[in-house]
Amino acid sequence: MKKYCFILLTICLTLLFSGCSAPSGGASESAASPISHFEPLGTVSENNKNIYVILKVMDSSYWQVIMEGCKAAGEDLSCNVYCGGTNNETDWQGQRVLIEEALAAKPDAILLSPDDSVELSSDIDRIHELGIPVALIDTAANTESFDICYMTDNLYAGQNAAKEMLGRLRDAGYSDYDDISVGIMVGTAKSQTINERLAGFYQYWSNNAPGKWSIISDIMNCNGNIDEGDALLNDFLAKHPEVVGLYATNNGPTRVLARVVKGAGRKDITVVGFDLSDEIDDLVKDPDYRASTILQRQYDMGYLAVGSVLDIMQGITPPVRFIDTGVVTVNEENMSSPEVREVIDMN
């Protein structure tokens, strides 16, 4: 029943996004955005197995760390790793093109971070039917046709984000009797990862926040475009000047929140986001602001996924299909701790 409630909540949250989305042109522009075609990560040997990796937002520091993990695994485990991807997290059509390119090259395995958990399900089914091992990285898909998935437990990550937000708001001096509200920005409405982070955030908030503390129902959706996100957030803050907290579900929106809040000098707003972009790193380190970010172990996602598909090629079946690589909550108070520094250094 609990799992059913989460699924129902996820569906309802997705339907809410239409209330505060970027203009419809944003989606069509992202679909037409250029893709990054496959390039080898490291040296190539004719005797090695060939693994094709398809990622999203290739110029993002988050995804570049995943590439580093894949590259290191290729070098350590003696396999050829080729990487390509899209430049917008909603461009599933571009990923479909890359899947076709990978299949034409007759790969030994494919690693994929789907831009759309639903639209690319049939493509994953097709790869599986061809007998090619499939590992998902960071983002799950609406299909059972994959061998293993390395990702964050996103429900838990969303709960951690809500816990951090509530703690930081209390640190700011708000009491249970204050009437305060927070806003949310997502990068896309079609990612299972984002929906789960939203569901986890809402669940923890509803169970633990004071009754007078609320989440504004208009969820901002920047459709993978941080420039559009800037405009969305500025409009949102003009409409809701009372907001005291902002939550971003992934890297792009987190960059938006950090740079707009810092640019506007809104020291009264607490920011909680994901990953370690330059923007959020700068905000977390600035003592005049209250900011936290949830860091993932994406280097491990890439490295371990390469190793797993090599095992699968040798007939070794993974004991489980979903591997949670874990998260660490980072703020100015714990940035120097050994555990946190280790994760930061990998980001």
Domains of the chain from N-terminus onward: 11-22+153-297+331-345 (3.40.50.2300), 25-152+298-325 (3.40.50.2300)
Residue 340 has a pLDDT of 80
Whole-structure pTM value: 0.81
Separation of alpha carbons 83 and 61, rounded Å: 15
pLDDT in tens, 20-75: 554 433 333 344 468 999 999 999 999 999 999 999 989 888 899 999 999 999 99
Q: Please, which residues have CB within 8 angstroms of residue 34's CB and are 6 or more apart in sequence?
A: 87, 94
Residue 224 has a pLDDT of 83
Residue 170 has a pLDDT of 97
pLDDT in tens, 171-203: 999 999 999 999 999 998 888 889 999 999 999
Strand order in the sheet with 80-86: 35-40, 80-86, 50-55, 109-112, 134-137, 148-151, 322-324
Q: At 315, phi and psi to the nearest 5?
A: 90, 10
For residues 291 and 270, is the Cβ–Cβ distance under 8 A? yes
| E strands present in 73-208 | 80-86, 109-112, 134-137, 148-151, 180-186
The strand pair at 213-215 and 270-274 is best described as unpaired
Q: Which of 30-34, 206-210, 215-219 has the lowest mean pLDDT?
A: 30-34
For residues 324 and 315, is the Cβ–Cβ distance under 8 A? no
Mean pLDDT score, 215-221: 96
**Nearest by Cα to 127 from 95, 155, 89:** 95
Q: Is the pLDDT of residue 17 over 60?
A: no
The strand pair at 270-274 and 245-248 is best described as parallel
